């Protein structure tokens, strides 16, 4: 039987700059990537969130935690580097987790973030 190894899952979602929309979209993308990868929460090591500078209504890590999700997971949030022509209103997730060795990680870009990685896109 194969063991587990550490992987990194990538996800991104576009949202409006309101507490409600940031929370809703963060939860949707989190739940969907967990489901796609059949990932038990106890196998998540940490999640790094980044958000573009035009999103400041709420920290996405706080938004996720306030829903009761990820209670025992290390969460960290940072602002994206400001660059010319950056895609607006984007939250990105980098999830460090254990999956069965040999797994093919399933990434997720949705709700307007598809343009960033069309090869990893899916509607939420």
75-88 pLDDT, tens digit per residue, is 999 999 988 888 99
Task: Map out the domains of the chain with their CATH numbers.
Answer: 4-81+88-118 (3.30.1330.40)
User: Which residues neighbour 76 within 8 Å (Cβ) at sequence distance 6 or greater?
Assistant: 46, 47, 48, 49, 61
* CA pair distance 44, 99, nearest whole angstrom: 9
Task: Write down the residue that tokens 């980044």 correspond to.
Answer: 50
pTM for this entry: 0.90
* CA pair distance 73, 12, nearest whole angstrom: 19
Q: How many beta carbons lie within 10 A of that of residue 56, not counting itself?
A: 11
The model's confidence at residue 124, banded by pLDDT at 50, 70 and 90, is: very low
* pLDDT at res. 1: 44
* pLDDT at res. 19: 97
Instruction: Assign residue 70 a region (left: φ > 0; alpha: ψ between -120 and 50; beta: otherwise).
Output: left
The single-letter DSSP state of residue 121 is B
User: How many residues does this entry show for the chain?
Assistant: 124
């Amino acid at each position: 039987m194969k063991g587990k190894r550490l992987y990194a899952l990538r996800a991104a979602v576009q949202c409006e700059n309101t507490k409600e929309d940031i929370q809703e979209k963060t939860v949707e993308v989190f739940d969907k990537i967990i489901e796609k990868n059949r990932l038990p929460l106890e196998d998540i090591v940490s999640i790094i969130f980044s958000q573009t500078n035009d999103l400041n209504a709420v920290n996405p890590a706080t938004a996720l935690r306030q829903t009761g999700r990820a209670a025992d997971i290390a969460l960290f949030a940072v602002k994206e580097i400001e660059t010319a022509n950056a895609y607006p209103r984007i939250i990105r997730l980098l999830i460090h987790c254990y999956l069965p060795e040999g797994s093919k990680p399933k990434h997720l870009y949705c709700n307007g973030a598809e343009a960033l990685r069309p090869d990893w896109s899916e509607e939420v």
